[in-house]
Structures are given as C-alpha cells and as structure tokens.
Structure 1
Amino acid sequence: MPEGDSIWRAAARLHSALAGHELTRCDLRVPRFATSDLTGRTTLEVVPRGKHLLARFEGGLTLHTHLGMDGSWRIFPAHGTWHGGPEHEIRAVLGTTRHTAVGYRLPVVELLRTADESRAVGHLGPDLLGPDWDAERAAANLLATPGRPLGEALLDQRNLAGIGNIFKSELCYLAQVTPWTPVGDLPDPATTTVRLAAAAHRLLRANTGDRGTRNTTGIHRRGQELFVYGRARRPCLRCGTPVREAPQDERPTYWCPRCQSGPTP
C-alpha cells in the first residue's frame, strides 16, 4: 500500500497537471457517481491527507480517492496513449486540454461537497506531511492505548496519518523495540512516543522527492536503503544478525532480534 510520502508525490503530480485548468473530460466509473460530470469546472488544487487524495474543484466539490493496496493515478498528454492497466481497471478519468489523469484500481472514488470533506478524512490523526502536523498530539494518541502493540498503533491512521507497513518496521527498528512491544512498555513512553512521531515526520518528509527509491538509512548503495523492511534472513546493517520476518495484523513485519528488544511472535 502506498504510504504518506507516495501519496504526497501523487498529489503534487496531479496538482501540477490539473490545477488552474478547466476540465474538458470527466468520467467517474463507479455506480454511485457514474452520471456525475465535472466538465467545465476548474480544478483549484489537489492535496494529500494522510493516505487520501482530495481534488477540489470550483463550485465547492471535492473528488476523494484512496489508492488502497495497488491503485494509482497516471498522468498522460491529453491525446497520448494510456498505460497502467486494462480498461476495466480504470475508475476515474479527469482531462484538460493539456493532460489526462487516469485512476487505476482505485477502491475509493467519492464525490462530495468540499465543506463535507470531514466525512471522509475527519477521523484521521495529525497528518505527517500536512499543515496540521503536531508531534505531541500524535504521541498522545499513541499513548491513549498503552496496551496496544507499537506496530499496530503506528499503522492506525486515527493516531497519526501517513505511516504504512514499511515505515512501521523502520520506525520500530530506530526505536530499538520490536513492533509487538506495547506502547506503555516503551522506555519512558511519553518521551519515546514524541521522538517516534518526530522521526516519522522527518523520514516521510525526506522521502517526498522523486528519487524513485525510498530511503531510511541515509545509505544510497543498492540493497541498503532500508534497515529491516524486506531484508528477511539478510544481515542487519548495524550488527550483522539475520533480520527476521513474521506477520503482524496480516502484514509482513521485519525486525532485528539483537538490535530490538521486546516480545516477538
């Protein structure tokens, strides 16, 4: 599933292609909004909110989409050939005289009043890459359920919005605890959760560029961009111990059994 940094980049690409231009084509291929037409409206902006995308149009309307596990928005020249999946996987098309934005495999396509956006994203915690970012509030949200495993708490978008499975594993590694460690069992939980939230913000912000490869280690050699995620049975970059993998909430989770203390499956 795309994480907050990927959604931020997708929003930036859509904004660059559509903002300030009148729509000459609108095709929402979901039953509820199949007859809705935004043609003739100008796109005001496209902004990310956690893992959600909000395209705002004149007249007070917003197109809310979510990429889910494998959705994507692709940008093409107005009269260019589309590629990104078969025709039946297309869920939304927004076109101008210059560009066409095509949404593939989008599990959420919803047209709503801009004034009602809170119905779609109001439940989210502080956005790691948004103007509302607040590390102390995010930390307080994490601490509200002290018995919850840290990995699960970090993935809960109601606590802080933007972390996915990759950053979850990497943040737990940086905190030197396993993802199954209860939040309340962290060393000095109040201080540690604030530091974790700040580290999450720093890592996502650092990965908003278009380098193509996500990096949390600061090492730019191939295969060493991440500390533990995707490195099962490979040596830990810090101590050389083989990294382990196990599911947490049905998602592959990685940790170093030497560098990270705490419970494991």
Structure 2
Amino acid sequence: MSTADQIVVEQHDLAGCTVVDLDGRLDARTYGILRDSLIKLAIEQPRALLVRADRLEVTSTSALTVFSAVWMRINQWPAVPMVLVTGDEQQRRLIDFSGVRRYVPTYSSLVDALDAIEEPPQRRRHTADFPPIPASSHAARAFVRETCRDWNVVARLEDALGVASELIENAVTHAGTELELRVELRLGYLTIAVRDQNSKQAVLRQSAQGRLSGYGLQVVAALSLAWGCSPTLGGGKVVWAVLSLVPHRLATFTV
C-alpha cells in the first residue's frame, strides 16, 4: 500500500494500552483524518494511547499540532493519557519546536513510554441502551437517579438528571438510532454520555438574529464543566458532559 499521499493508522493492544502505529504523510489533507482516528480510539477508554510516529512523514511543525488538538479534545473526557513515541532525532526536534511536548509527552521507545504511564484513576461506569423514542428520556432519568444513588452521589443529582434528559432528547430528535447512555464517576467528576450511530455532529448554532438555537444543548452547556461531541469507531458519535462534584465549578467550555 502506498502511503505517499495518505496516512495509515493501525493499532493493537499492549498491557491495557492502545498502541497506534502511524505511517504516511501528515499534512493539511490528512490532519483531520489522524485527529478523528485518535479521538475514536480514545473514546474506547484504553489505559493510554501510545502513538508511534517513527514512520510518519511530517510536512511542517504546524501539522504536529494535531496531537495537541487531540489532547484538548480528550483531556476532560474520556481523560485518556496520550504519549508520542519516536526514535527519530530530527522528528523529536520538530516536536520540541512545535510546542507539542507541553501537552503530549514524547519518548524514544515504546518501553520507556509504557514505563512512564501511571495507573489511571479508578472509574465507576454504568451503561444502558435505549430506543430512539420520546419515552427514553424519562427512562434515562430513572437510570441516572438509580446509578447515582447506588454510588452515593448526591451533589449535582438534579443537574445530572437534566443533562441526561437533554442529551437523550437531542439524540432521539436528531440521530434517530439506538442509544447508549453511559454514566461515569471519576475523581470527583460525573460524566453523562450518549452514544448513537449517526455521524452528524451535535453543535450549538446561532440563528440569523444572533440567538442560540438548540435549547437542549444550551442546558447541557450551562450545567456542565465541559461538554463535547466526539466521533466513535463504527461511524457514530458520542455527546458527553462532565459535571464537577466539588463546590466551586470552573467556567463552562466546549471541545
């Protein structure tokens, strides 16, 4: 297979991590392909992403910012660490010059990278499947309420119920596919995520009058520390929101 004008992304599992082997050219045309491929792999929540870039042809330092962009998309959720692995000295100098190391650690060997990966924080996770019908919103609220009570999560319960309702209703209206609701607890953060099989991204849009449309996502944005929409393996997407369980919340932002 020729990789002169494309990028090839292959992966395999190693000690709970996903090792990603890159081959081909990283440029403006393949930037988005690589970005989305890495995000999709992170959504599956391996222990870490170990990205081997020795065979990657880098056309410019600006192209390397794809790794910073991926880090920004996965840092809040699914909160999977990502590292770069390359033994090529010239490539390592380009990575240093690009500033990517501020976000993504770089190692010269897979062994060194694996040794540096810390054990991930403990996650508690419950999932449930729902059909794309209006009644699923009520059922999703009941599922989130029961899950939070099982975990003794009292703070932000009403907010979590509101986020779950809005995400499910939005997916029923716009995706129209079978839905998976995921509730996750990690280090004082509660995540509500809804996965569907429609690749169309969920976004807040502005009307001609400058007002936001998509009321449900406004609610999600207002209640969450961070929210976003990420592509998934198989062609669908997951829309997620992270709620802080600590008293003082940071300003909401979208990734």
- Is the TM value for this pair above 0.5? no
**Normalized against structure 1, the TM-score is what?**
0.29
- Using the size of structure 2 for normalisation, the TM-score is 0.30
Q: Which structure dedicates a bigger proportion of its chain to helix?
A: 2
Higher strand share: 2
